[in-house]
Structure 1
């Protein structure tokens, strides 16, 4: 079994306020301000939200159809990657850099990709695996098809982008591969959507005995289709057992306000809970697989 190499780490979830920008440099200044604060609190890991890069829509003609605007934001990908790589290096952080629309060379499809940067500037990508209806039907965004678990110097981490956290099989698979942390970048426009993500994120902590760092967008992009409203509350969530936070919430932000949520995680507590916890849902899930294979439908 993989063992984390560091005991306690400090992590941050950005409750990121999207606002119109006039230049890419203005966007970069806002992002760096968040990174600088997090580094000042000696955090090792920062998680930014899904589609926080949609601020860059406001550099274009917002009267265009949203599917076209999404593809124009994808045109900023290389510049965005360079920005985040430089910030990770400069501030010595691991950064789950939210998501940005992305297009591969020779492929006219657009994807929703989360770039994960190490303090050295190295990075890899976790694409979103399940599209919401608005992404599929209105934005014409396509799903990726590969789940990854990332090795860091404090343990293994997986990324479930917003809607993906509503599919427990994904996170269970990552936990069986030794993931002790789950980053959940999200973008939701109302309370119902936010709570779907939040409740499922909390369930994943209990089912898999891991930490969840949930980072949503807040704020508004006036007159921009599908981005006018953002509803969110960042949180750092824990399993529900004696070594962890009383309500399974280590820290959370003030609803719908610009904020950064910071907490300290005991990585060894995850390992111990998976062996000595009050209940052992991750370990006991091996029996669940057997039960599912032998599922019966019984007429009455």
Structure 2
């Protein structure tokens, strides 16, 4: 957040985890938070870790948790594009909590920062919990990305 502004206003989302039946429901929820943040004068909108887990409701077949997370990860590109679009259209910075990401058949838990000028910055989780590592088969990133604001 370069420029002459010395303070920023942060809007933090307490995201309700519920079952959704269509991706469009998640789209509507996310946009409503962008709209509320903009109306309140926020500069940065902050979502919680794993906010996208509502997408589990789109998975029809019951599977083990590792497979469910991999299927949720298939929706991550669409969620990321949505954040990029709203950050630009509402003129806000946004941290998209974290999302499961499948990269070269490895599952990661990554967080993203979006800017109003459509820059997308990624930071992967460096230390997985035992649940993520042992039950979900999640891998850790090995690099801390410093983001100059």
TM class by shorter chain equals over 0.9
In structure 1, runs of 5+ residues without a counterpart are: 153-300
* Stretches of 4+ aligned residues off by more than 6 angstroms: none
Task: Give the aligned partner of residue 108 of structure 1.
Answer: 105
Task: Give the aligned partner of residue 114 of structure 2.
Answer: 117
2:39 corresponds to 1:43: no
Contact 1:62–1:69 (Cα < 8 Å) also in 2 = no
**How many residues are matched?**
148
Task: Give the aligned partner of residue 78 of structure 2.
Answer: 79
CA RMSD of aligned residues (A): 1.4
Normalised by the length of structure 2, the TM-score is 0.94
Contact 1:44–1:93 (Cα < 8 Å) also in 2 = yes
Task: Give the aligned partner of residue 52 of structure 1.
Answer: 51
Output one character per residue of 1:48-102: Cα deviation in whole Å (capped at 9) or x when no partner: 0110101101100362101000000110111111100001001000000111111
Task: Give the aligned partner of residue 143 of structure 2.
Answer: 146
Q: Cα distance, 1:5 vs. partner?
A: 4.0
Q: Cα distance, 1:42 vs. partner?
A: 1.1
Normalised by the length of structure 1, the TM-score is 0.48
Gap change, CA 1:22 and 1:33, over 3 Å in 2: same
Pair member with larger Rg: 1
Task: Give the aligned partner of residue 8 of structure 2.
Answer: 9
| Aligned counterparts of 1:129 and 1:57: Cα–Cα separation in 2 | 24
2:89 corresponds to 1:98: no
Q: Cα distance, 1:32 vs. partner?
A: 0.8
Question: Secondary structure in 2 aligned to 1:144?
Answer: coil
Q: Cα distance, 1:31 vs. partner?
A: 0.9
| Aligned counterparts of 2:81 and 2:8: Cα–Cα separation in 1 | 26
| Aligned counterparts of 1:134 and 1:42: Cα–Cα separation in 2 | 38
Gap change, CA 1:62 and 1:138, over 3 Å in 2: farther
State how 1:265-284 maps to structure 2 within 5 Å: none
Higher strand share: 1
Q: Cα distance, 1:4 vs. partner?
A: 7.7
Output one character per residue of 1:198-239: Cα deviation in whole Å (capped at 9) or x when no partner: xxxxxxxxxxxxxxxxxxxxxxxxxxxxxxxxxxxxxxxxxx
Q: Cα distance, 1:38 vs. partner?
A: 0.6
